[in-house]
């Protein structure tokens, strides 16, 4: 790979894709992108695109998994074969340990946030599909899952937003792309923006303890920004729906 020769931060303080250290990649959120699921969303962050569909709350497919006092959540993560570029990327199948780990992380992140006690004896199935991968699969999946759950009308205590933070020498960088992710120590944080509490934190590379706090605080701050963006999209969508409902309401009254 050529990534070892990549200049992470140039003299002008710009990253390899001309972003500043705290600048996020261009982000787009779309709700209800799939018509056959109860809720769905497609989130694009830079060149990473992830589609999530949520089915449920519905009757559990297998009785053994049901719980009498709350809903159970199942998460499945898949990567389309062309997601990581021809031949160069790793081949990932359904049984892949890394994908199963991402699935487990998503499930455990949302278990305390979804008000599962409102849907006893039922199942909420979350299907995550990575359509194109350029770093930050886990954070983007979490953001997409939050939106899909909102679009499915499932009760949540808060948004969950997530971001990756890297460290170049002493400079923290936000929202890493694939080449940066493979070169830098990185931390993924998912937080509940209203309280600023962290539900998920994952780091896989060596980092000195003293640097860690700074990165975590920055991540929490960035999660708040993402939440504002997402809330804007949700409110816009809701406004449109209400408008349509209003028109019909007026029509009914006129008859």
Partner 1 sequence: MVREVDPPSIQKEFLLQALAEGKRLDGRITLEQREVNFVFGEELGCVECRLGKTAVLAQVSASIVKPRDDRPYEGFLLINSEIGPMASSVYESGRSSDDEILITRLLEKSIRRTEAIDREALCILAGEKVWQLRLTLHFLSDSGNLLDCASLAAMAALKHFRKPEVEVIGDEVIIHSPDERAPVPLAIHHTPLCLTFAYYENLPPILDPTHLESTLCSGTLTLTLNAQREICVLSKAGGTPLAASEIMGVVNVGVDRVREMVKHLEEALERDREGRVVEVR
What is the greatest pairwise CA distance in the chain? 71
CA distance 204 to 187: 7
Q: Which residues pair with 79 in a beta bridge?
A: 130
Q: How far is CA 11 from CA 6, 8, 18, 22, 160, in A?
A: 13, 10, 12, 16, 35
Stretch that binds partner 1, among 6-14, 24-32, 108-116, 118-126 (CB under 8 A): 108-116
Token pair 């570029």 in the structure block, residue: 85
Q: Which two tokens stand for residue 228?
A: 């504002």
Note whether 68 binds partner 1 by CB under 8 A: no
Cβ-based neighbour number of residue 197 at 10 Å: 10
CB of 33 to partner 1, least distance (A): 25
Stretch that binds partner 1, among 23-31, 35-43, 97-105, 245-253 (CB under 8 A): 97-105
Residue partners of 182: CB distance under 8 A and separation at least 6: 1, 3
Stretch that binds partner 1, among 41-49, 146-154, 204-212, 222-230 (CB under 8 A): 204-212
In the bound state with partner 1, the residue whose beta carbon lies nearer, of 22 and 212, is: 212
DSSP letters along 23-34, please? PPPPEEEEE---
| Interface pick for partner 1 out of 3, 10, 108, 238 (rule CB under 8 A) | 108
Note whether 201 binds partner 1 by CB under 8 A: yes
Note whether 207 binds partner 1 by CB under 8 A: yes
Note whether 69 binds partner 1 by CB under 8 A: no
Note whether 97 binds partner 1 by CB under 8 A: yes
Q: Which two tokens stand for residue 56?
A: 């449920």
Q: Which residues bind partner 1 (CB under 8 A)?
A: 64, 97-98, 100-101, 104-112, 187, 191-192, 195-210, 212-213, 216-217, 220
């Amino acid at each position: 790979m050529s990534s070892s020769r990549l200049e992470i931060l140039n003299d002008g303080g710009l990253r390899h894709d001309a972003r500043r250290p705290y600048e996020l990649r261009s982000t787009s959120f779309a709700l209800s992108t799939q018509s056959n699921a109860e809720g769905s969303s497609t989130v694009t962050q830079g060149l990473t695109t992830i589609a999530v569909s949520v089915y449920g709350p519905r009757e559990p497919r297998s009785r053994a998994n049901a719980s009498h006092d709350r809903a159970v959540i199942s998460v499945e993560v898949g990567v389309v074969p062309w997601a990581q570029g021809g031949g160069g990327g790793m081949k990932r199948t359904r049984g892949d340990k890394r994908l199963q780990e991402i699935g487990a992380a998503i499930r455990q992140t949302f278990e305390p946030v979804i008000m599962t006690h409102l849907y006893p004896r039922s199942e909420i199935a979350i299907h995550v599909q990575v359509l194109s991968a350029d770093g930050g699969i886990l954070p983007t999946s979490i953001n997409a899952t939050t939106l899909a759950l909102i679009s499915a009308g499932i009760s949540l205590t808060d948004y969950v937003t997530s971001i990756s933070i890297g460290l170049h020498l002493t400079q923290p960088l936000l929202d890493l792309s694939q080449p940066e992710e493979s070169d830098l120590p990185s931390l993924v944080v998912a937080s509940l923006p209203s309280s600023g509490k962290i539900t998920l934190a994952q780091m896989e590379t060596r980092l000195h303890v003293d640097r860690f706090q700074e990165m975590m605080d920055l991540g929490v701050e960035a999660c708040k920004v993402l939440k504002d963006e997402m809330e804007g999209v949700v409110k816009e969508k809701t406004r449109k729906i209400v408008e349509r409902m209003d028109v019909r309401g007026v029509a009914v009254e006129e008859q």
